[in-house]
Chain A
Amino acid sequence: MMRPVLTALTLAVLFIPRAAVAEPVSMERAAELYDTYCAQCHGMSRNGKGVNTTGLSVQPRDHTDTKAMADLPDDQIRLVIEEGGLAVNKSILMPAWGEAMNPDEIAAMVRYLRQVCKCGN
């Protein structure tokens, strides 16, 4: 009697749509997101010297700068990623990424930046 029920439950679990299961965003995926969106200006070395920066009027933040990054609260980092530089009275050259990354990915990016700057909290 129990076997059909268990089989049905097992099948149901196996076929839950992937989107319905919230998977935490790994640091590996956060690094890929950084490479995709951030590295063009903040650099593949995360040092603020990306391939686009030679002609920029405002230089991007160096994410390896432990002291400067430690001064930034998580909420401010999240806000500037989601809404862009103007949201925190910084340069318009930092665009809003709120439509490219979802809130979970942005939260993971904040955690990833804490690893990069070695200023985790």
Chain B
Amino acid sequence: MIRMHLSLMAILAVVLALPTQARSEPLAVCAQCHTLSESDVPDDLISHRLTREAPDLHYAGAKFNEEWLVHWLQKPTRIRPAGVFFGRHVEASENGQDVVATEGLPEHPAFGEEDARAIAAALMQKREGAASLIPAGAYSGKGNVRFGKMAFNKLRGCVACHENAPGEGGVSGPELHSASIRLQPDFIATMIAKPQEIEPRSWMPHLQMSDRDVQNLTAYLMSLDVGEEQ
């Protein structure tokens, strides 16, 4: 009788421990493609950027909005129209124009709500490296949307690499029509101001912008209509 009681207790302990184990390492599946610690980022950043399967996430907690992560992990969409590194997913058309070979683009796995919430919560704890370079208040909240739009589309040429509406704009950088729900405004402002410090060796150039330009551009991106993504 006592032995049976002990066995039941043991089974109960294992059953109770299983979800605890799953919740304790929610990022294990992410680590198959993403770099999750700054110490795991290779010294040769050029080779890393040309060959990595997915963006680094060691400062995800200072970059993403948690609610967006929860939603996106359940219904992932493509954020970088030409993939993580565009060079691996373009091919020359007949007239020599590079075009995106969409059939080769990998799909991100989708998760159930409970897993998505666990992964998002764990990602928000990731605040290594560049996270210390993103100060609270980097975006003042006082930018001029109209001037920001002009800078994005004409004066600073951001639209050459980023989409500000689905299918409109460049494709080598991540889409920005979803920036307001996807990204923290302080990250947006800091990434615009000093991209090579936040993402060393990124193909996002440092455009030496004034703080006024940075604030205006951030205000514009925060104003973009995200449509069905909301």
Binding site for B on A (CB under 8 A): 29, 32-33, 35-37, 39-41, 43-45, 47, 49-56, 84, 92-93, 95-100
Q: Do A33 and B46 touch (CB < 8 A)? A: yes
Q: Which residues of A contact B98 (CB under 8 A)?
A: 39, 43-45, 49-51, 53
Provide the bound-state CA to CA distance between A92 and B90, in Å. 25
Known interface pairs A54-B97, A92-B155; A29-B46 also in contact (CB < 8 Å): yes
**Which chain A residue has the least Cβ–Cβ distance from B172?**
A40
Q: Which residues of B contact A100 (CB under 8 A)?
A: 196, 201-203, 205-206
Q: Is B170 an interface residue (CB 8 A)?
A: yes
Q: Do A36 and B49 touch (CB < 8 A)? A: yes
Known interface pairs A36-B201, A55-B170, A56-B160; A44-B90 also in contact (CB < 8 Å): yes
A38 to chain B, nearest CB (A): 9
Q: Do B196 and A40 touch (CB < 8 A)? A: no
**Which chain B residue has the least Cβ–Cβ distance from A18?**
B43
Provide the bound-state CA to CA distance between A77 and B86, in Å. 25
B76-118 interface bits toward A, Cβ cutoff 8 Å, 1 = contact, 0 = none: 0000001000110010100111111000000000000000000
Q: Which residues of B contact A53 (CB under 8 A)?
A: 97-98
B225 to chain A, nearest CB (A): 20
B146-163 interface bits toward A, Cβ cutoff 8 Å, 1 = contact, 0 = none: 000000000111011100
Q: Which residues of B contact A50 (CB under 8 A)?
A: 98, 172
Q: Is B28 an interface residue (CB 8 A)?
A: no
Known interface pairs A51-B82, A51-B86; A99-B97 also in contact (CB < 8 Å): no
Q: Is B41 an interface residue (CB 8 A)?
A: no
Known interface pairs A45-B98, A51-B100; A99-B50 also in contact (CB < 8 Å): no
Q: Which residues of A contact B205 (CB under 8 A)?
A: 37, 84, 95-97, 99-100
- Selected contact of B50 from candidates A35, A47, A55, CB within 8 Å: A35
Q: Which residues of A contact B169 (CB under 8 A)?
A: 55
- Selected contact of B157 from candidates A33, A51, A95, CB within 8 Å: A95
A31 to chain B, nearest CB (A): 11
Q: Which residues of B contact A51 (CB under 8 A)?
A: 82, 86, 90, 98-100, 170-172
Q: Is B230 an interface residue (CB 8 A)?
A: no
Q: Do B196 and A32 touch (CB < 8 A)? A: no
- Selected contact of A92 from candidates B96, B156, B161, CB within 8 Å: B156
Can you list 13 A-B pairs with a CB-CB distance of less than 8 A?
A: A29-B46, A33-B46, A37-B203, A39-B86, A40-B170, A44-B92, A55-B160, A55-B169, A84-B205, A92-B157, A98-B206, A99-B205, A100-B196
A117 to chain B, nearest CB (A): 16
A108 to chain B, nearest CB (A): 12
**Which chain A residue has the least Cβ–Cβ distance from B161?**
A52
